[in-house]
Every structure is written in C-alpha cells, then in structure tokens.
Amino acid sequence: MENGALEESLADAAHVAINWSVTFYPAGTTGEYADAEHTNSENTIVIWTSNMSSTDVFVEDNGSDKESTTHDPSWNDQKDQELAACMEQFGHTMDQSYERYTGDHELKTYVGETYPAALKSTVVDGQKGQIGWSPTGKGSYAYNVVAVYNHNPVPKSQIGRITYAFAFHNGQPVVLVDQSTNGDPTMQVTKNDKLKTAFANIADNR
C-alpha cells in the first residue's frame, strides 16, 4: 500500500501484465479522478485497471447505498477526424503546420525521431515503457496514445519540433508534448489549456 492506494500486478491468459489499484478518498478530500477544485461530499473508492484503462468510481450514498460511474475511453474514426479538424485550426492559430500519424506511414521529426516507434524510448513520468500506440485508447500502457501530431519548423535549417501525443491515462484524456532536440524523447502534460479542453470534449462526445 502506498499513499492510501492498494496496488497489485496480475497477468491475463496471455501472460500480459495487468496492474490495478484501489484508492479510498474520505469525504472532504479531493480525488485525482475529479476536478481538483472540488472535494468529495461522500466517502469514495476508485478502482483502476491497466488492461482496460478504465476507472470505476464508487460513491457512498446516505451511508449505505452505492452508485458506480465508469469512465471508459473509446476512440473511433469520427473522433479522430474531429481531432484532425481541431489540430488544423490550432495550427492556423499558432502559425504552425501539423502532420499526423495516420497508421499507414511513419511520422518523422526534424530531430530524427519516427512515430509511433519513438514512443518505445519516450520518457514519461521519469520512466520509459509508460507510453505506447493504442488506436482504441484501451491498452496495457500507462499512457495509451490514440493520435500523434508533429510540427517541424520552417525553414528546415532551424532545429526543433513540437510533437503532441493524445492519450488516455487512467481512463482520462491527456495531451502530452515533446520539444526536446537531443537525447531520449521526453513528454510531459501540455500547458495549453485550450488544447487539453478540446481533446477532452472530443473524447467525451461533447
């Protein structure tokens, strides 16, 4: 048990590792699955499993009854096209041109990386192996990537790039960005609130 969370690692029939955790949030505390500006009005238990990247939230009701809300990521072609339109508009606004990985051909950056292969060596949360390509949004990674977009600078003599990875982490949509120019690719959550909100809205069909 660590930080109030019970964690365990199992394996499925194909011997693929499955991680799960159970966390208890007493009434009056903030659960990381929810808006950080709000606190729990009731005792809450959160169960997360890596193989489905889903989060089950059980909230105490009047001291006895329970109700469950499941946040289950599901990525499809329609959402992918909506994100493509969003990134085209985002590129116009930022005066940048973004190319996306379509699943047919590798996406190359000016610093020499190719996606999705580069995800294997990408550092997230200080570790490699945390992120991988998962077109449905459901997979065994901590960060299951459904889309990758890259901007290479013009003219080509300039060094740099901006690479965005749209992923699901603990069943929640998250946008990661990498602007590193040497060493292992390193991604972190973007500070661009508009892009984060846009992806969350698309993921939730809003």
Domain ranges of the chain: 5-71, 77-203
Type of residue at 157: S
d(CA 50, CA 67): 22
For residue range 45-87, what is the model confidence (pLDDT) as tens digits?
A: 766 665 554 455 555 554 444 444 444 568 999 999 999 999 9
Say yes or no to pLDDT of 118 above 60.
yes
Q: Taking the model in full, what pTM does it have? A: 0.65
d(CA 15, CA 60): 35
To the nearest 10°, the Cα dihedral for 68, 74, 78, 80? 130
Say yes or no to pLDDT of 204 above 80.
yes
> Per-residue pLDDT averaged across 121-140, rounded?
93
